[in-house]
């Protein structure tokens, strides 16, 4: 059974049984799709609120990331066989006969990864004012953490504001390093004109996602965006209520208490109709 509500279009839609972020979306079966849906919903919310001389655009890049185990990346060959172009290969006679090899396929431990983010641009020159990043597991793990941190530093060295949205319990927190907020989900706003400090929004799994301030070009005021509304829109469009198996505990690395609470919250979901 799922909670239902009446949408602004006058239609009944199924909602997540959680007051804030749904930890079941962190499952690898749902996260890639949800990540794109949420970015799309966030962009729509921004476009509705931005002044006429601003625009919200999506940008992306395709990256190849190493998906092998960390220890495999650190292995170096004990012997390197070098060959110059045009020279015959000299074989050194072995003292003993080599064993017969077994031919096996060589696996290349790489996969293609699509990275998408939002840019707020100022018209008419279309200069980038703010960048909004919704972190993925690859950003918070060894697979692409170094690459993301390099991109992050490049943004912070320019007169561009950065909004970093972390809706993942798992992985190493990107920022701020110290002091680290005691929260499950975190949003960091680093303003272009205030590099010595940042604004941090934190919330637990038991709370709604916050409304955040997105910087524009001074002296223009901030744009306020409700992340919980964007989450609800993404959840509806993605149809996750009928795809997620709420009869099983979430796979997100929650504390024991939060894991029990989340499981009870999911199992206790019920259908509600407006009176």
Give the domain extent around 219: 21-67+111-230
Q: Which of 56, 53, 24 is nearest to 238 (CA)?
A: 24
238 versus 84: which is more confidently predicted? 238
Q: 56, 43 in Cβ contact below 8 A?
A: yes
pTM above 0.85, yes or no: no
Confidence of residue 84 (pLDDT cuts 50, 70, 90): very low
Q: What is the mean pLDDT of residues 141-163?
A: 91
Q: 221, 17 in Cβ contact below 8 A?
A: no
Residue 90 has pLDDT above 70, yes or no: no
Q: How many domains does the chain have?
A: 1
Written as one string, the DSSP assignment of 198-214 is -EEEEE-TTSPPPEEEE
Q: What is the mean pLDDT of residues 131-143?
A: 90
State the CATH number of the domain containing residue 152.
Answer: 3.90.1570
Lowest mean pLDDT of 107-121, 212-226, 234-248, 252-266, name the range. Answer: 107-121
- Does 192 map to a domain? yes
d(CA 59, CA 64): 17
156 versus 105: which is more confidently predicted? 156
- Does 182 map to a domain? yes
- Does 16 map to a domain? no
Lowest mean pLDDT of 45-59, 171-185, 238-252, 253-267, name the range. Answer: 171-185
Confidence of residue 83 (pLDDT cuts 50, 70, 90): very low
């Amino acid at each position: 059974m799922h909670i239902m509500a009446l949408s602004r279009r006058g239609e009944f839609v199924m909602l997540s049984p959680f007051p804030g972020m749904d930890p079941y979306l962190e499952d690898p079966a749902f996260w890639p799709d949800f990540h794109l849906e949420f970015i799309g919903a966030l962009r729509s919310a921004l476009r509705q609120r931005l002044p006429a001389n601003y625009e919200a655009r999506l940008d992306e890049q395709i990256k190849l990331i190493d998906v092998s185990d960390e220890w495999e990346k650190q292995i170096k060959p004990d012997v390197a066989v070098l060959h110059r172009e045009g020279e015959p290969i000299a074989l050194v006679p072995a003292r003993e006969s080599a064993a017969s090899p077994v031919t096996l396929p060589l696996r290349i431990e790489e996969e293609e990864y699509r990275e998408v983010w939002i840019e707020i641009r100022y018209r008419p020159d279309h200069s980038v004012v703010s960048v909004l990043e919704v972190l993925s597991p690859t950003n918070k793990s060894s697979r692409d953490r170094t690459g993301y941190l390099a991109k992050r530093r490049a943004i912070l060295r320019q007169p561009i504001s950065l909004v970093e949205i972390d809706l993942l319990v798992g992985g190493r927190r990107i920022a701020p390093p110290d002091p680290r907020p005691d929260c499950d989900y975190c949003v960091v706003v680093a303003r272009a004109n205030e590099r010595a400090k940042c604004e941090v929004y934190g919330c637990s799994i038991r709370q709604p996602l916050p409304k955040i301030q997105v910087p524009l070009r001074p002296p223009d005021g901030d744009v306020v965006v409700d992340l919980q509304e964007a989450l609800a829109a993404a959840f509806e469009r993605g149809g996750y209520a009928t795809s997620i198996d709420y009869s099983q505990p979430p796979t997100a690395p929650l504390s024991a208490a939060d894991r029990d609470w989340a499981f009870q919250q999911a199992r206790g979901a019920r259908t509600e109709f407006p009176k």
